[in-house]
Structure 1
């Protein structure tokens, strides 16, 4: 499996972005990077996913089947995407940090 960037152009009608994201979540894939914005007369969402070749084909097929999706492109991740996911790594839950302070205060 390797990281791939997906660039999906779509008409912003009710539920279209949700259907795009549902195709990803149905496969149990994490979405470490997502950026949605207006691109001319249509909208665009960029996703970074760790997928194998079979999943790339399945996702592209599912997205092309959505009526309001106008274009799907797959590319290598941009440096900006990779930098963003490195910055937003896992963080401990807020309760874990406060529990250690509480334990120290109780001692």
Structure 2
């Protein structure tokens, strides 16, 4: 897992363009936190990426006009804890019934 911090000017649509660069590659975002940071804003992301995807995202983020800086670092314990709960929540619970209701619905 890689932690990314993108500093940007909070103009209309900037955060969506940052997140869209990730979502169009079908990458899971188990941790996203956007907050004010001085005169600008910062979004912190936790992503599972290969080196090629890291380069693509850095290129895309730097191409956004209102992005001030992009940095990568080690994920914090809070990020990893929330990412683990994200993995657990992704899988729906297994049905506890014996299937009688499914057979009744098919009849």
* TM-score scaled by length of structure 2: 0.82
Where structure 1 has 5 or more consecutive residues not aligned to the other structure, the ranges are none
- Alignment-derived partner of residue 64 in structure 1: 62
Task: Select 1:9's aligned residue among 4, 7, 14.
Answer: 7
- The whole-number CA distance in structure 2 between the counterparts of 1:49 and 1:84 is 12
Task: Select 1:79's aligned residue among 62, 77, 80.
Answer: 77
SS of the aligned residue for 1:7 comes to strand
For each residue in 1:8-43, what CA deviation from the matched residue of structure 2 results, as whole angstroms up to 9, or x when unmatched? 000000000000001001111010000000001000
* Structure 1 runs of 4+ with >6 Å offset: none
* TM-score scaled by length of structure 1: 0.82
For each residue in 1:36-93, what CA deviation from the matched residue of structure 2 results, as whole angstroms up to 9, or x when unmatched? 0000100000010000011101000100000000000011211110011123322537
- The whole-number CA distance in structure 2 between the counterparts of 1:50 and 1:92 is 21
Larger radius of gyration: 2
Q: CA-atom RMSD, angstroms?
A: 1.9
Where structure 2 has 5 or more consecutive residues not aligned to the other structure, the ranges are 102-107
Task: Select 1:47's aligned residue among 41, 45, 48.
Answer: 45
